[in-house]
Amino acid sequence: MRTRHTFTIANPDFKAQLLQWSQQFEEVVWLDSNRYQQNYSTYDAVLAVDAFTCISTDSHQGFDQLQEYQAITKDWIFGYLTYDLKNDLENLKSEHFDGLEFPDLFFFQPKKIFLIKGDIVEMDYLRMVDDEFESDLKEIAAIDFDEPTKPSKLLNIQMRLTKEQYVAKVNTMLDHIHRGDIYEANFCHEFYAEKTHIDALATYRKLNAISKAPFAAYFRNHDHYLLSASPERYLKKIGNKVISQPIKGTASRSKDQLADENLKNELENNPKERSENIMIVDLVRNDLSHTAKKGSVTVEELCAIYTFEQVHQMISTITSEVEATIPPVHILKTTFPMGSMTGAPKISAMQIIEDLEETKRGLYSGSIGYFTPSGDFDFNVVIRSILYNADNNYVSYSVGSAITSKSDPLKEYEECLIKAKAMKEVLEN
């Protein structure tokens, strides 16, 4: 079905040239670790372009349709799951304003795939386009990606909630927590700009240069774009092993080395941040147990501190073993949406989130990634991301934080602004 060609990268600008070359296609997925290799990293970067087949649907029976598509293609497929697929799993709804209008689920079978690890590139081409690989390489090598781009116009970014409205809603969520309805919930709010055009690729490059995130992504499906600087893995499957790496706990960085180390230590020893993280670890353990072999769910890393360009993060790693007979999509279905973006108990948290938030989350706090022909997969969490509908000229980014009984609404608001910093800088030049 596919022909593989392998070669060694000679030009240090190859990745930038490759991403620039991809812009001629209507369907693009670019996943970049920015060389931030973790224990379970497989590739440095992956590019998939040009749909041979695809699936695009709303949430109704979305996972069943994806499972059928994945089983029929038995090939690489790339795409995304929006947060609103929760409505396919439980008696939930998403009725808020949606300025972005992305399909709830989209995957495609690419004609051309590039898999990069170190200085080795594997090109996996469907046989129908295999005779194009040499001309493609020549085109890529000839690209001058340093051509100046037109500066983006100044965006009029607005907040969906005022500071006072945000604080009031967090206090309402705290009332739910104190009543025992939930223990924790992730509350998000949107920043947006209307009637706005942006250069999607240039914006992604700026965002990636600032953040250098390990689960960065550039996605295009015709007029819909995702520009992501995500630091978080949702779920990965390698053979019979499943890995989840939720993030809960954030601290800002300092340019002063001593102050930065103090911020890192404060995060590591912060009882509120640790309790947030441990609650989500328990939720993920429960989610993984639905498909795990008995006794195989393991917490490999609890409340570890990882340092990124913009922030320090508290990350845990939970793994399980699954039987080979379990369909890969079923593993996603029984863990979605990810606990780090919902709360505990999950269903009650999602109901309260829907009552309090003002906009439909859509792809924000969903996931983008891929399945391999063997049924392995790797998906990130769509956070620290800019979403753009070029058809209706709507730009959006959302941020959130975990609300627990120990939360101070004003500090949660400040945490949201820290998380929004990179997107705001990029869009406001």
**What stretches of 253-321 adopt beta strand conformation (E)?**
298-307, 311-321
Token couple for 115: 């898999």
Do residues 260 and 254 touch, judged by C-beta distance below 8 A?
A: yes
Looking at this protein, which amino acid is placed at residue 5? H
Q: How distant is the alpha carbon of residue 181 from its chain centre?
A: 28
Sign of CA dihedral 69, 71, 73, 79: positive
The C-alpha atoms of residue 286 and residue 280 are separated, in whole angstroms, by 10
DSSP 348: H
User: Is there a contact between 298 and 241 (Cβ–Cβ < 8 Å)?
Assistant: no
What does the alpha-carbon distance between residue 152 and residue 159 come to, in Å, rounded to a whole number? 20
Catalytic-labelled residue, pool 111, 248, 346, 419: 248
Q: Which residue among 27, 184, 232, 357 is the active-site one? A: 232
CA distances from 79 to 26, 104, 109, 220, 384 (A): 13, 11, 9, 10, 18
Instruction: Answer left, alpha or beta for residue 61, where phi above 0 means left and psi between -120 and 50 means alpha.
Output: left
232 in catalytic set: yes
The string over 163-174, giving b where at least 16 C-beta atoms fall within 10 Å of a residue's C-beta and e elsewhere, is eeebbebbeebb
Please state, in angstroms and rounded to a whole number, the distance separating the CA atoms of residues 248 and 268: 11
Bridge partners of 108, per DSSP, are 54, 78
- Residue labelled with tokens 């340019």: 255
Q: Which residues contact 341 (CB under 8 A, 6 or more apart)?
A: 83, 186, 188, 365, 381, 383, 400
Q: What's at 371, amino acid-wise?
A: F
Q: Examine the residue annotation and report whether 248 is marked as an active-site residue of this protein.
A: yes
**Strand, helix or coil for residue 75:** coil
How many angstroms separate the CA atoms of 281 and 132, rounded? 47
Q: How far apart are the first and last CA of the chain?
A: 45
The conformational region for residue 273 under phi > 0 = left, psi -120 to 50 = alpha, else beta, is alpha
What's the CA angle centered on 386, arms 382 and 392, to 5 degrees?
120
Q: Which two tokens stand for residue 245?
A: 């790496």
Residues catalogued as catalytic: 232, 248
